[in-house]
Each structure stands twice: as structure tokens, then as C-alpha cells.
């Protein structure tokens, strides 16, 4: 039985998109409903900067499967994050930001160091509450010291989209599209993948409210 609790304002009814389909925006940005364990979509290789806020542990990962009305639950979080970093390596962006909780921060740092020479993390928070601690890893091959400590993750994303040097930002767990919206507001292209079409539809609606247009390709 489907859970009506996670309909995200029914955006998907107003902006239908389903698994395997890609939304292509007026500025060339693209997002696709996609399972990360499937082959990486070619659109993601357009990204020269990544920001991704993936699930932080196995329970969190499987909760997103529930919200997407899926039952193909995962039994290994290591398998997931190894695949995440495999995708990042395949994209090979100049700069990569990864948001993570405390539990897997060491493992994520280690994986980032396999791909980049300069890896650091910043203390952050979510929902603008200091008790909601998280961390934002920045990985690149050039050292850069930034004043991002104790900024809320939403403010970090906004700062990245305004201040980093990039042509196209990518997000492998696009969710409701905070990365895409901030990129669009700053006149930058974005690409992304998201497991749950109901969540991705929130991004489509947000861009439409900003005056953007898109069309859907692929699928049946």
C-alpha cells in the first residue's frame, strides 16, 4: 500500500515525471528520475562541480525507498556510499561537496581522499537549528580555505552556487532540488538524478514558479 504521507504537496500531479524520464529546462539544465545503482546517466558528466546530500546511514537510505513507494530495500550502506563515490569519480568534477552526518564522516573523508588531493570538512547544521549538526566535505585538487563553518547547509548551497567557479553543478541525490533552484537563480546550469519522482517534481514546480520552462523526454 502506498503511503500518502510523502506526497510533497502533490507536485507530481501538476508536474508529472516518472522513472527513466528526463526533464530538460530552457537553459539546458537536466534532471532524471534514476536509481543510483543503475548506470550513470550521461547528463551527469556535464557537471564540473558537485554538491550532494546523500542518505547518511542505512536506515536513512531505506526511508527514502519507502517515501518513493519502493520495496527494494538495501542491506548494506557501504555498498551505497561506494557506489556514490564511484559515480563521483566517473563524473570527475573539479570540486565536490558532500554533506554527511557524524556516523560516516570518517568513511566519506577517506573515499574523498581517494579521488582528490585536498579534502577538508566544515561544521554545518540543517533546518537552521544548531542542535542539528552535520558536516560538509569539500574535495578538490587545489587548496582553498573558506569561511563556511557553522553555516546552515541551505546557506552553504547558496554560497557555493554564487561563489564557486563552475559552469554546471551536479547533484546525485537531487531530492526537492535546493541545488537546482539556487543554480537557476544564479544563471547557472545544473544536472541531477533523484530516486523519487514525487520529490523531483517539487524542483520542476519551483523552477516553473521562477519563470522557467521544461519538457520531458524518455520513458514509455
Residue 126 lies in a domain: yes
154 within domain boundaries: yes
pLDDT in tens, 150-161: 999 999 999 999
Q: Would you say residue 136 lies in a domain?
A: yes
- The pLDDT tens digits for 129-142 are 989 999 999 999 99
* 98 located within any domain: yes
How many domains does the chain divide into? 1
pLDDT tens digits along 178-218: 999 999 999 999 999 999 999 999 999 999 999 999 999 99
Three-state DSSP state, 97 = strand
CATH for 125: 3.40.50.150
In a domain, 2, yes or no: no
Beta bridge partners of 122: 136
Residue 4 lies in a domain: no
C-alpha cell at 115: 579521488
pTM value is 0.94
**For residue 30, what are the contacts with CB-CB under 8 A and spacing of at least 6?**
22, 23, 24, 43, 46, 191, 192
Look at residue 144 and tell me whether its pLDDT is greater than 80.
yes
In terms of residue numbers, what domain contains 64? 14-217
Amino acid at each position: 500500500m502506498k503511503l500518502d504521507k510523502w506526497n510533497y504537496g502533490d507536485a507530481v500531479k501538476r508536474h508529472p515525471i516518472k522513472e527513466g524520464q528526463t526533464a530538460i529546462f530552457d537553459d539546458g539544465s537536466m534532471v532524471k528520475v534514476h536509481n543510483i545503482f543503475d548506470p550513470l546517466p550521461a547528463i551527469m558528466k556535464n557537471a564540473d562541480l558537485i554538491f550532494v546530500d546523500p542518505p547518511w546511514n542505512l536506515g536513512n537510505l531505506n526511508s527514502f525507498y519507502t517515501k518513493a513507494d519502493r520495496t527494494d530495500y538495501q542491506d548494506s550502506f557501504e555498498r551505497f556510499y561506494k557506489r556514490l563515490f564511484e559515480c563521483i569519480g566517473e563524473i570527475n568534477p573539479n570540486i565536490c561537496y558532500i554533506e554527511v552526518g557524524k556516523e560516516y564522516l570518517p568513511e566519506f573523508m577517506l573515499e574523498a581522499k581517494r579521488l582528490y588531493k585536498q579534502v577538508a570538512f566544515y561544521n554545518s547544521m540543517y533546518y537552521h537549528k544548531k542542535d542539528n549538526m552535520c558536516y560538509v566535505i569539500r574535495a578538490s585538487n587545489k587548496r582553498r580555505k573558506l569561511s563556511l563553518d557553522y553555516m546552515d547547509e541551505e546557506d552553504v548551497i547558496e554560497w557555493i552556487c554564487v561563489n564557486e567557479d563552475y559552469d554546471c553543478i551536479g547533484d546525485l541525490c537531487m531530492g526537492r532540488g535546493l541545488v537546482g533552484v539556487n543554480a537557476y537563480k544564479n544563471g547557472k546550469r545544473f544536472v541531477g538524478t533523484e530516486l523519487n519522482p514525487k520529490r523531483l517534481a517539487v524542483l520542476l514546480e519551483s523552477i516553473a514558479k521562477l519563470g522557467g520552462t521544461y519538457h520531458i523526454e524518455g520513458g514509455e
